[in-house]
Structure 1
Amino acid sequence: MSEAVAHEEPFPDLADIKSLEEALHRPEVRRSRDALEGLLADNFVEFGASGIVYDRATIIDLLLQEDGGGEGELRASNYALAAISDDAVLLTYESERTQKDGVRRSVLRSSIWKRAGDRWQMLFHQGTIKRGFNA
């Protein structure tokens, strides 16, 4: 019976998931344990551009320690959303940031968002640096 209810719930559109994703880019969200715990699924995993795999607890701790300095504004573009199951979507996009040393860094990003009751939470994220772009 619960599966039938899940199918009847409205599927998110790109704007819904983009808004959740971009919330994670904002310093006030990145500094809020409550906000992060609400956005990241209990079994969240991130494959970092460094090759390090982060679990939810680790990434929350790292985000809470950020000082917000040294990095310019994150600009994101080319968003695309694809359904991967009745209760999960894949969001892909590109981001670019100019660091304080003037180096521009462009990253291909992908996130899996999964329905958790009446909300969506990020289950997985990966960022891959675009080769040949950083200037």
Structure 2
Amino acid sequence: MPRRKGKPDTVLQNEIKTRVNDKRYEKLTDILNKSRYHSMSELVRDILENKPIKVLVHDDSLEQYMEVLVFIQKELRSIGININQITRHFNSSPTESQKMFHAMKVGEQFQQVGLRVDQLLSIVKEIAKKWLQK
């Protein structure tokens, strides 16, 4: 089945050839590698049309925060599993004293959650200082 023809005003029919020096080519290649563009032609077309060029930047300073955040995420997940298990035991306990024991255990787990949330808030505060500078 043949390909549909595009609208006459959107079809790229005219070819423009140009040359640039090595320095400019390296700069364009660097922008191309850091952006969402798949070809140099796409990039140059947007530059010619004065469209904004978005360059993706990787900040290595966030790596340390990411490791801590992943660790906290794992800890919170395991605390959640513990709370679910304690709740199951609480619901199956026949006596009030056993229920009180399980309720105390859940309280301890929620204290751990509070500590991890405090850690998260301090990390978010540090990240906000870096990213929300004026």
Pair in the same fold by TM > 0.5 = no
If asked which structure has higher relative contact order (CA below 8 Å, sep 6+), I would say: 1
State the TM-score, normalizing by the size of structure 1: 0.20
- Structure 1 or 2: more helix by fraction: 2
State the TM-score, normalizing by the size of structure 2: 0.20
